Structure 1
Amino acid sequence: MKPVRLGSNRPAERFYRGGARISAFRGEGTSAPREPEDWIASATTVRGEPLLGLSRLPDERLLRDAIAQDPVTWLGDEHVVRWGSDTRLLVKLLDAGQRLPVHAHPHDDFAATHLGAAHGKAEAWYILQGGTVHIGLREDVAATELLGLVARQDVPTLLGLLHEVDVAAGDVVWVPPGELHAIGAGVLLLELQQPEDLSILLEWEGFDIDGPALGHLGLGFETALAAVNRRARSSAGLSGLVAAAPASGSVFPPAADEYFRLERIPVEGAAVVERGFSVVLVDDGEVSIDGESSSRGSTLLVPHAAGALDVTGEGELLVARPPAP
């Protein structure tokens, strides 16, 4: 099999604004006002939707179905022995056209117990265009206090509880399950996450979403907020979440390895993408991957059966992979 070039897969009418930076990065035309996410090589649906969010291959098959029919070809023997046809990965481009609300995502145990979901939602970001992010509590907060802030929609206090951090292109942000966070307006990022659409919203004023009905995942806020980490992050602890990426090799902290992996590969004449199911994003430059020319913003889905890929040219690749089996 050969790598598969993928176009945009952008669910429409999301609850927040954005999308223009994705269009510019990919070299596409203008976008609708609320298409802020490109779900790359997705076998995951938007929560509550039967098909929305799923990627289609050039032959119009759903990627999810193609993998289910031939998981070894796509994912490799070792992956299939451990996880079957579950890709264990969702990759997105995300353009924050406005600051996102304060929110968190549940961990595996909570998601399985309360939602019957196969995964929670750990995530991590590689920053493509910088700005401000809000992540981690500056001080401990009691469950009753947090519940009250959500009920009152006291956004200044909620946002003020979080560390505010400036990020630049090439920085990485690790968001463990349960960690409160919000992406600032103007940030463009590549996101790796567990393949679920599960968000606990603590804020919804000014967003096109019915927060009181949908923000708690159908559990009620008292139960949903039990999945949130209410312990403070010191400045030293925060450095474990936000850092500059190394120039090459694995870029996320070791704690992310059980969920997903991201490799940064500079291309200065020649390079190799090692064998394995992956999503390859050309972050910069003009390169040839397996004999096919690819420029900034190109995304390729690589089946395990494609083997190692030879890369030539001048540029940089970001290679997203599921956890090692």
Structure 2
Amino acid sequence: MKLYPLVFEPILQDRIWGGTKLRTDLGKDNLPTETTGESWELSDVKGNVSVVANGDYKGQKLTDLLEQFPAEVLGYKVHEKFGKEFPLLFKFLDARDDLSIQVHPNDELAKARHNSFGKTEMWYVMQADEGARIIVGFKQKSSPEEYLEHLENKSLIDILNEVPVKKGDVFFLETGTIHAIGAGIVIAEIQQTSDITYRIYDWDRVDANGNSRELHVELALDAMNYNTTDTQKHYTTVENRANVMVECPYFTTSYLPLNGSTGVSKDGSSFTVYICTEGEFAVEANGEKHNFKKGDTVLIPASLKVYLLSGEATLLEIGIS
């Protein structure tokens, strides 16, 4: 395999709650609508598989690369565990309006019901309007009975935890955590490869044709964690170093404030992904320099073990331990 940093064509998704910040803030041109809510940056989800946008493999699907070079791309440990599947999904989200209140199933439920991975995820807040908030977890320990009563009475928000957010905030959402991204927020999302969402409440809104979106109240009942949860993560910000923010069995994400240059050496066990949330940076490897900017999501194949990062940028570094 020719080893170099890979970027992919964004897969842009219209959402009833979406806006135009993916274009204005992150440089995603050619938005299909003025309500484009998501840019899937790196995806192995069936029907939404990423296509390489640069270099020798331009035009090839991620699935084709994994078929040809599974260990070289994924890393020997990740390949051993996941075969030829890419286990993570990377997105940017622009919430002009509130997302639905929802929950994601764990691996066991998702496998049994949908033959899918569960959906453990994390959010990094890239931009937040004044007064923006998210909904995450219950205020106090709840129960299926209390939850259903409030849902029926349209007072669900009364028992949920609303958290004000600002740029740089990080939240880790284990499966079963009831949640919603609020209006006025742009988020970088890292999650298991899954598109399984149980939508519980959608603010009684309808689309242009007067139709409501499907709800999954019954499916959500036994998927939900009714205990309180501590989801916000605090982290250090030492320059030119990977400061761990979230570490879980599915991924490890670090905050890397780049100022100048820093050498990177990996062991080949896992791929590395860099999400550029601010500034510009370059990856130098094998005598070539590759330039990237805010809004880019870059996959470093696992077999590319030694390289140099340079520039002035804020990066999220993601791999699997």
What TM-score range do you get, normalising by the shorter chain? 0.7 to 0.9
1:31-50 map, 5 Å: 31=31, 32-45=33-46
> Which of 245, 257, 264 matches 2:235?
245
Aligned residue number for residue 27 of structure 1: 27
Indicate conservation of the 8 Å contact 2:234/2:245, yes or no.
no
Task: Call closer, same or farther: CA 1:25–1:245 in 2, change over 3 Å.
Answer: farther
TM-score normalised to structure 2 length: 0.85
**Take 2:264 and 2:35, find their aligned partners in 1: how far apart are those partners?**
34
Task: Call closer, same or farther: CA 1:173–1:274 in 2, change over 3 Å.
Answer: farther
Indicate conservation of the 8 Å contact 2:140/2:227, yes or no.
yes
Task: Call closer, same or farther: CA 1:207–1:242 in 2, change over 3 Å.
Answer: farther
Q: Deviations over 1:88-139 (max 9, x none)?
A: 211111111111111110011111223232x111111111112311111012
Task: Call closer, same or farther: CA 1:123–1:103 in 2, change over 3 Å.
Answer: same
Matched, 1:164 2:162: yes
1:74-223 map, 5 Å: 74-117=73-116, 119-130=117-128, 131-150=132-151, 152=152, 154=154, 157-204=155-202, 205-208=204-207, 210-211=212-213, 214-216=214-216, 221-223=217-219
SS at match of 2:17: coil
Indicate conservation of the 8 Å contact 1:200/1:225, yes or no.
no
Task: Call closer, same or farther: CA 1:319–1:274 in 2, change over 3 Å.
Answer: farther
Counterpart amino acid of residue 56 in structure 1 = V
SS at match of 1:14: strand
TM-score normalised to structure 1 length: 0.84
1:229-244 map, 5 Å: 229-233=225-229, 238=230, 241-244=231-234
In the TM superposition, what is the alpha-carbon distance from 1:320 to its structure 2 partner? 2.2
Q: 1 or 2, which has the higher helix percentage?
A: 1
Indicate conservation of the 8 Å contact 1:153/1:203, yes or no.
no
Task: Call closer, same or farther: CA 1:28–1:84 in 2, change over 3 Å.
Answer: closer
Q: What are the ranges of 5 or more consecutive residues in structure 1 without an aligned counterpart?
A: 46-50
Indicate conservation of the 8 Å contact 2:120/2:173, yes or no.
yes
Q: What are the ranges of 5 or more consecutive residues in structure 2 without an aligned counterpart?
A: none
**Take 1:286 and 1:277, find their aligned partners in 2: how far apart are those partners?**
21
Aligned residue number for residue 292 of structure 2: 294
CA RMSD of aligned residues (A): 2.1
Q: Deviations over 1:190-213 (max 9, x none)?
A: 1110100011111122154744xx
Aligned residue number for residue 3 of structure 1: 5
Indicate conservation of the 8 Å contact 1:172/1:251, yes or no.
no
Counterpart amino acid of residue 85 in structure 2 = D
Q: Deviations over 1:163-185 (max 9, x none)?
A: 11111111100111000111111
Q: 1 or 2, which has the higher strand percentage?
A: 2
Indicate conservation of the 8 Å contact 1:26/1:297, yes or no.
yes
**Take 2:98 and 2:135, find their aligned partners in 1: how far apart are those partners?**
10
Counterpart amino acid of residue 92 in structure 2 = L
Counterpart amino acid of residue 6 in structure 1 = F
In the TM superposition, what is the alpha-carbon distance from 1:148 to its structure 2 partner? 4.2
Aligned residues: 297
**Take 2:36 and 2:290, find their aligned partners in 1: how far apart are those partners?**
28
**Take 1:69 and 1:7, find their aligned partners in 2: how far apart are those partners?**
20
Counterpart amino acid of residue 39 in structure 1 = W
Report % sequence identity: 27
